[in-house]
Structure 1
């Protein structure tokens, strides 16, 4: 399985259990709280995208009462799942505070019976992604929705029934799914969890804040500050927004309505991608980030060569963090200058160098990075990029099944919910999901509805696929790998008024189905079969 380069911590300390029930919020929590505060300005719109973990019973049965008691036991053990986040006026900072267990009021619960089709299941899951159930200040962050496929005994779930967990991203990320799944099946079998003094998420928070004031790390911190200041120096969002017909004032006006288009690359082109990365010793993340940079440059009609994209990174840099439940995902800016006479391969190698430098200083928190620039603020990255290398616990059912005494559970993978789980809160974003074992690459292009309508996003998706086709079709691959003479400016981006021309190309071999709706629910499924 293709992996991104490992993150290296500034030093190798150990996160120890401090038994702290109240402390400053983590940097990731601060960013997510700030995002939700902005999004909540319009109360009619969903303010957050929940992280969804849908599980299905493969064999056996599970008692509803034991499921509910198991959730309470998990909340007891993993305090971050019942931690309130609020702004302390006296201290002038955002704090996290563990809330006490109080019967079943620490989580949201629903039981739905008589669901008769997969379409109904998909509709319920889509609703859970954006369901506004949480109360952040009070520590209500977890929701459990049980879905029964019939009207029989409501006290038990049977084969094919679902247990759906929706968790607020201020307390949970994609890499928390594995530890949560393991904990849930273990506590159900044992009818409880031993509460031992293992490090909590709050301990990680204290660790990351203390590290910035650690005198032994001042040289590394100084180097990180110098790097990020130099990288962002002189970047002007007023001039450098590559999206056509969008002003800086519009960027400041956020909308939670989004349009989304998703398409899957053909097997031939995925093989070409993997061949390119192997031949040039680059990662799939770096290759697709290079595609995105070129696409943005072409969208701007070449009017700006200075581009910056916010990319998601994972701060689980220490071994003891791997099994923690919490939010470790953060953003970092990747800024690069387009050289129009540069070959595609040389550009990818330069992106590779940029990524290597960013990884050297990846522990510098987002808040510190943006304040290193001239006039950036915490919400100044409207253009984002997300790369998913399929988590191992969701990849194969034979390795993801959990066999308990009374039942066998596995993730519900009929739909690719990972894409919905990571849909960024931004004005324009690209999510790439790659599975090197199954040789699949999925692309999800998303934009704010206040900027573009569906037709415009469809046009953009065709333009992006045209960029991919030029660099990855059989002839182009041979040219790039063997002669390496094609320059970035030699590749055309078909503009909206040229879209009709694409109808006679291989990009339109199958019909397009468009679904409309709010935020991440609306998706256009484009299956590009090459």
Structure 2
């Protein structure tokens, strides 16, 4: 319901027998709600500067007081964007800008992430709930992979190294350096278990006093042929028995000697070193942190570690559970409004998966490179138009999907956020900082490629800005959807930059 009221100056005063009375406003402390949602616009020329006002009344049967207050603040911000002369307000050009650009997310909500303080949680000793990233990983493992059906466990993260020619490495020093790293980075000795009593996935740092043995696996083996070496590498990648999350055994070092284990405890250029991590406590960006500290620990035999003040992954997991996410919640509700999340893209499938059929994990891959000329022209186009390679790649992918689906214009896919360290305080922590968010492109078939690129730049930038909002909460915003089809089509951009 909408009501417009103009208060006339001619009816605002009362005079009788020489006595004048002036009308004053009367505000009821408790409103009677005749409608579920009613807005009253009041124009009163008697007030200073012809003040205008809105009055919002909502049924208490449906709305909490705090909800009505927030809706009113968003209405006020909407008016400010259209008519305010304040330079700090994100103003809308009423002649040329689409009304879809009007933002209901309040300025302070766009800064909600910056206001969060990431610091050591003194009340958290060694146990805390799992992070959203860890919960998502374990949830996907339970849903997508069934032991007697699935053949490809995907959570081993091996990194393989061999020495340069005529170089050597002390096994004793390496082992000591790894011990220092596991001592400093507690994620590498953290267990992950499901507590049935409170139906919650929990993580716990395993202290050295709880385990008399080392808190990581250190093994040595030999190979003679390339077939033997390839078998060992395959086991490191695909053997699901290498780690034990319940015991906190999530990191292992495997030394593979050529023909025989060295008697002088030195690795040579024909030997292989494998550092292997469980993905629940490690992501690709953690590798740079690990290698930096490994180099320092091996060279100096020590590793600075202020155990009482350092921000831990455990602290991050607690803080993110308490973070205000109102702005992010509103963004994702708006971004996916009227999106048919349960309808998959019309890809040219050879067969269809039944609704109760589990994913096997088996796949077929092809790859090709652009070649020198095409690569050069691609990079030149991106740089000359001041476009990031990531945005250009995404735009090409949407063009391809548009054609592959015979003209489907509302394309919603999943975007992997592989390094979700959105604050500087998180960039020195080893752990899992990942999320999956929708990327929805509503394209116009009559757009030229540049118009599509501008649209892709906008949606990608905004989606990444609010990528701290957990996928679980995005899905919870659409409880009527049982199968979120956008998760079946994905896009990932990987850039190898020189350090």
Unaligned 5+ segments in structure 1 are 1-6, 213-220, 394-530
Cα–Cα, structure 1 residues 375 and 293, in superposed 2: closer, same or farther, change >3 Å? farther
In the alignment, structure 1 residue 365 sits paired with structure 2 residue 473: no
Cα offset for 1:164? 1.0
What residue number does 2:175 align with?
A: 68
Cα–Cα, structure 1 residues 194 and 378, in superposed 2: closer, same or farther, change >3 Å? farther
What residue number does 2:339 align with?
A: 235
Distance across 1 between alignment mates of 2:482 and 2:127: 27
Q: How big is the alpha-carbon RMSD for the aligned residues of Structure 1 and Structure 2?
A: 2.7
In the alignment, structure 1 residue 15 sits paired with structure 2 residue 104: no
Cα offset for 1:174? 1.0
Distance across 2 between alignment mates of 1:69 and 1:28: 31
Distance across 2 between alignment mates of 1:52 and 1:294: 35
Cα–Cα, structure 1 residues 75 and 152, in superposed 2: closer, same or farther, change >3 Å? closer
Distance across 2 between alignment mates of 1:369 and 1:22: 27
Distance across 2 between alignment mates of 1:367 and 1:378: 13
| 115, 126, 129: which one aligns with 2:237 | 129
| 264, 267, 274: which one aligns with 1:164 | 274
Q: TM (normalized to structure 1)? A: 0.65
Distance across 1 between alignment mates of 2:289 and 2:316: 16
Q: Secondary structure at the match of 2:198?
A: coil
| 93, 100, 110: which one aligns with 2:200 | 93
Distance across 1 between alignment mates of 2:483 and 2:247: 24
Cα offset for 1:116? 4.8
Distance across 2 between alignment mates of 1:334 and 1:112: 46
In the alignment, structure 1 residue 292 sits paired with structure 2 residue 397: yes
Cα offset for 1:315? 1.8
Cα offset for 1:24? 1.0
Q: Secondary structure at the match of 1:345?
A: helix
What residue number does 1:258 align with?
A: 363
Cα offset for 1:333? 0.7
Cα offset for 1:390? 0.7
| 284, 298, 302: which one aligns with 1:188 | 298
Distance across 1 between alignment mates of 2:161 and 2:112: 34
Cα–Cα, structure 1 residues 237 and 358, in superposed 2: closer, same or farther, change >3 Å? closer
| 254, 269, 275: which one aligns with 2:380 | 275
| 410, 413, 425: which one aligns with 1:306 | 410
Cα–Cα, structure 1 residues 34 and 143, in superposed 2: closer, same or farther, change >3 Å? same
Q: Secondary structure at the match of 2:334?
A: helix
Cα–Cα, structure 1 residues 91 and 248, in superposed 2: closer, same or farther, change >3 Å? same
Cα offset for 1:37? 1.9
Cα offset for 1:255? 1.3
What residue number does 1:57 align with?
A: 163
Cα–Cα, structure 1 residues 114 and 273, in superposed 2: closer, same or farther, change >3 Å? same
Higher helix proportion (structure 1 or 2): 1
Cα offset for 1:40? 4.1
Residue correspondence of structure 1 range 434-445 to structure 2 within 5 A: none
Unaligned 5+ segments in structure 2 are 1-109
What residue number does 2:432 align with?
A: 327
Say whether the 8 Å CA contact 1:31–1:378 is kept in structure 2: no
Distance across 2 between alignment mates of 1:70 and 1:369: 42
What residue number does 2:314 align with?
A: 202
What residue number does 1:45 align with?
A: 151
Cα–Cα, structure 1 residues 278 and 251, in superposed 2: closer, same or farther, change >3 Å? farther
What residue number does 2:100 align with?
A: none
1:220-249 alpha-carbon deviations (Å, 9 max, x no partner): x33321210121223224433332336574
Q: How many residues align?
A: 377
Distance across 2 between alignment mates of 1:41 and 1:387: 28
Say whether the 8 Å CA contact 1:309–1:383 is kept in structure 2: yes
Cα–Cα, structure 1 residues 239 and 377, in superposed 2: closer, same or farther, change >3 Å? closer
Cα offset for 1:128? 2.2
Q: Secondary structure at the match of 2:258?
A: coil
Q: Secondary structure at the match of 2:180?
A: helix
Distance across 2 between alignment mates of 1:34 and 1:86: 13
What residue number does 1:175 align with?
A: 285
Residue correspondence of structure 1 range 428-439 to structure 2 within 5 A: none
1:401-460 alpha-carbon deviations (Å, 9 max, x no partner): xxxxxxxxxxxxxxxxxxxxxxxxxxxxxxxxxxxxxxxxxxxxxxxxxxxxxxxxxxxx
Cα offset for 1:26? 0.7
| 384, 389, 407: which one aligns with 2:490 | 384
Distance across 2 between alignment mates of 1:23 and 1:257: 35
Say whether the 8 Å CA contact 2:220–2:261 is kept in structure 1: no
